[in-house]
Amino acid sequence: MAASEEKLTGARNPPAPGKIAEDWAGKRVLLVKLGAIGDILMLLPAAHRLHERGARVDWVCGRVVAPLLAMYPWVNRIEVDERQLFQQGKIGRAKALAGVWRELAGRHYDLCAVLQYDRRYELLARSVRAGRRVRLEKGERERMLIDGRWHANEYARVLGVHADAYAPGEAGENMQLVRPEVVPALAADKSLPTLEEMKRSGKRGRVALVPAGAKNLMREGALRRWPLANYVALTQELAARGYEVVLTGSAEDGWVRESFGELLSAEFVWDFIGLTTLPELVAVYDACDAVVTHDTGSLHVAGISRAAVLALFGPTNMGNFLPRRENVRGIWGGERLACRPCYDGRDFAACPRNVCMEDVGVERVLAELETMLGKSQTVAQEETGAR
């Protein structure tokens, strides 16, 4: 091999691209992926690619994210009680495993993919037979998620439906986020006026905020959060500029309400914290012009909605997690900091203060957001004119 070729490939024998043109018609695939909302939604594009190519997709998932996957009828869910599996000792773990084993017993799959680094998750697929098995493995390029690459692309590469090196066409382009086939209508007590109705009332737009989050069953990532005081200040600034604000989050995020104080009773603020299911949250974001959030599960829910998305990053690598689609932008704070990013895929540094997130100022967010909203409104007007 010529020296110039070695420089381009970085190796004398570079790994061959995955079988990106493989025909999956009539084949059966089992995905084992529990975990956070973002992980699930970043695996969906690869699962959808397999489905489009004719595969039957079964998915061992946690009960927390199961309602999200239920919006995709082509996903056959095998649900696991994560609390029983992780928090109820040996007896609870044995019961959870036994339930999955019974449901999967005797099944044969062409591909069984355990997309977790922790090898204990392989126990969930112990009762199945498989022609090929794949699991994540750090240190092995073909079976690891390469840092800095969007995880949706990386899951697809590990599963063999996306290229590693440059490839022309679909195999070398970003995976496409998968819009849910079924998005539930909001109940009357949770409904928002349509964007058209809201704008006829004189408002400039509607922006959803995610002031808490960054927590799941396994661990809490408070260092990922943009300062709560900044979300309060952003709410005040948006209101002063003629926007409505929708506060979103889970039932566990109610602790933020105290900081918003009298703003919660203001005409321009809608408090939806703890009031929506995950599928309903997609509908809420669909009814907004934009969503502003730090790196948490709601970022990825917003990614599959119709809203513009402005994501704020600090200790995590923006390249790994920022959704790739039109009108999604990210701000990565702490550019001057040697410790950024500090997240290693499991833990954060023992950091007393997330200066990287504090580095993202309210005015910077407002300026970026108004640019995005102006672009969205221009596109909407052009589309209306074309009709």
CB 111 within 8 A of CB 122: no
Chain centroid to Cα 42, Å, comes to 6
β-partners of residue 208 are: 246, 291
| Same domain? 338 vs 222 | yes
Domain residue limits at 211:
188-386
- Is residue 310 within 8 Å of 290, Cβ to Cβ? yes
Residue 83 burial (CB < 10 Å; 0-12/13-18/19+)?
middle
Instruction: Report the candidate in 258, 275, 302 with the shortest Cα–Cα distance to residue 38.
Output: 302
Residue 281 is assigned to a structural domain of this protein: yes
For residues 58 and 87, state if they share a domain. Answer: yes
Tell me the average pLDDT across 183-198.
87
Confidence band of 2 (pLDDT split at 50, 70, 90):
very low
Percentage of the chain beyond pLDDT 70 is 89
pLDDT digits (tens, 9 = 90+) for 114-140: 999 999 899 999 999 999 999 999 999
pLDDT in tens, 26-77: 999 999 999 889 999 999 999 999 999 999 999 999 999 999 999 999 999 9
Residue 205 φ then ψ, to 5°: 175, 180
Asked whether residue 257 is assigned to any structural domain, the reply reads yes
pLDDT over 60 at 218, yes or no: no
Q: Does some domain include residue 254?
A: yes
**pLDDT of 238:** 96
Assess whether 301 and 223 both reside in one domain: yes
Residues 195 and 167 in one domain: no
Residue 269 lies in a domain: yes
Q: Which residues of 280-299 are buried (b: 16+ CB within 10 A; e: fewer)?
A: bbbbbbbbbbbbbbbbbbbb
Please report, for residues 19, 205, 299, the alpha-carbon distance to residue 371 in angstroms, rounded to integers and kept in the order given: 41, 13, 19
Domain boundary among 147, 172, 197: 172
Closest CA to 39 of 198, 138, 154: 154
In a domain, residue 12? The reply is no
Last residue of a domain, one of 148, 172, 196: 172
Residue 10 located in a structural domain? no
- Number of independent structural domains in the chain: 2
Check whether residue 246 and residue 311 sit in a common domain: yes
pTM over 0.85: yes
Please tell me whether residues 148 and 253 are part of one structural domain. no
So what's the pLDDT on residue 376? 61
Q: Mean pLDDT throughout 297-306? A: 97
Residue 135 exposure: Cα atoms within 13 Å on the Cβ side: 13
Whether residues 290 and 365 share a domain: the answer is yes
Domain assignment present for 181: no
Do 264 and 333 reside in the same domain of the chain?
yes
Same domain, 238 and 350: yes
Q: How large is the average pLDDT for residues 376-380?
A: 53
CB-CB neighbours of 127 under 10 Å? 16
Contact 297, 213 (CB under 8 A): yes
Instruction: Answer yes or no: do 103 and 161 share one domain.
Output: yes
Q: Report the chain's terminal Cα–Cα distance, integer Å.
A: 56
Residue that is last in its domain, among 143, 172, 201 = 172
Q: Are residues 145 and 87 in the same domain?
A: yes
Residue 279 lies in a domain: yes
State yes or no: pLDDT of 8 exceeds 50.
Answer: no
What CATH number does the domain containing 332 carry? 3.40.50.2000
Question: What DSSP string describes 30-57?
Answer: EEE--S-HHHHHHHHHHHHHHHHTT-EE
Sequence-separated (6 or more) residues with CB below 8 Å from residue 372: 290, 308, 310, 327, 329
Does residue 23 sit in the same domain as residue 155? yes
